[in-house]
Amino acid sequence: MICDSLKKIKKEIGKDVQLIAVSKTKPVEAIQTAYDCEQRDFGENKVQEMLEKYEHLPKDIHWHMIGHLQRNKVKYIAPFVHLIHGVDNAKLLKEIDKQAQKNNRIIKVLLQIKIAKEETKFGMNKIDLEAILNEYQNKTYPNIKIVGFMGMATNTQNHEQVAQEFSNLHKLLLSYQKKFPELTILSMGMSGDYKIAIAQGSNMVRIGSAIFGARDYQNI
Ligand SMILES: *Cc1c(COP(=O)(O)O)cnc(C)c1O
C-alpha cells in the first residue's frame, strides 16, 4: 500500500522532482516500509518525534525538518538533520549557524517565504528576505548554506489562486539566482496541490497523506 503509493507518485512527478515523504504522526514501521521501497528522504515537523525516529531507523535516511522550528530545539537535530525547510527569521538562522559550528558541519536550509493570503501561515516577506540574503552574502552565517526557498499556498479549492501563489515564488527564486547560484531548490507542493506546484516550477514536493494515508490528527 505505502510502496504502491510511493511508486505511483514517483512516476507522476518524474526524475527532476525530489520527493520528501512526510512521515509526521506515522509510526517507525511505516517509515521502514517506505525505506524498504527505496525512499530515503523523510519529513517531520516536531523535533522530539524526529529524534525518536532517527534513533530507531537506518542512519542513511535524510531527515528534513519541515515544521516551524523553535530556536531552543535546534541543538537536538543539528548533528544529523539534512535540510531545514521552514527558516523564516534571522534569529533562527543565527542559532542554526551556531549549532552547525558546534557540530563541525554546514547545515543546509530553505528560506520559507509567505506566499499564501491566509494570515496564519509562517514565512518571511520580501523585505526580510532581502535583508537576510544580504547578511548571508556578507558571511554572517558561515556554517549555513541557503539552498533555496520553501512556500505553502493558501488552502483553497481555487486552483488559479494556488497556481498564482506558487508561480510568484518560482519567479522570486529565479530573480535571485543570478546573485546566488546555489539557490536551486524550490520546495512547494503537498498531497493536495503538488501537481499544480510542479507545473509552476517546484522541484521538491513534501507529500504525507497521499503516501501514508490520512493522519489521525491534523498536525500542522
Ligand atoms: C504535513 C505537511 C506536509 C504534508 O501534508 P500532506 O497534505 O499530508 O501531504 C507538507 N508540508 C508541511 C510543511 C507539512 O506540515
Cell of 66: 519541515
DSSP state of 187: E
Atom of ligand 1 nearest to the CA of 150: 13
- Residue 140 resides in a domain: yes
Atom of ligand 1 nearest to the CA of 220: 15
Q: Which residues line ligand 1 (CB under 6 A)?
A: 22, 24, 45, 66-67, 190-192, 206-210, 220
pLDDT digits (tens, 9 = 90+) for 38-55: 999 999 999 999 999 999
Mean pLDDT along residues 142-169 = 97
Does 133 score more than 80 pLDDT?
Answer: yes
- Residue 219 resides in a domain: no
Instruction: Give CA separation, 164 vs 127, 143, 186, 203, in Å.
Output: 20, 34, 15, 17
pLDDT digits (tens, 9 = 90+) for 55-110: 999 999 999 999 999 999 999 999 999 999 999 999 999 999 999 999 999 999 99
Q: Classify strands 83-87 and 41-44 as parallel, antiparallel or unpaired.
A: unpaired
Q: Which residue has the cell 557540530?
A: 103
- Residue 185 resides in a domain: yes
Question: Residue 131 sits in which domain range?
Answer: 2-211
Nearest to 212 by CA among 78, 25, 52, 13: 25
Residue 121: the pLDDT is 63
202: CA distance to ligand 1 center in Å?
Answer: 15
Number of domains in the chain: 1
Residue 220: the pLDDT is 46
The beta strands (E) that lie in 14-141 are given as 18-22, 41-44, 62-65, 83-87, 107-112
Does 219 score more than 60 pLDDT?
Answer: no
Largest CA distance in the chain: 49
pLDDT band at 118 (very low <50, low <70, confident <90, very high): confident
Enter the pTM of the model. Answer: 0.96
Residue 217: the pLDDT is 64
Question: What's the CATH number where 44 sits?
Answer: 3.20.20.10
- Residue 64 resides in a domain: yes
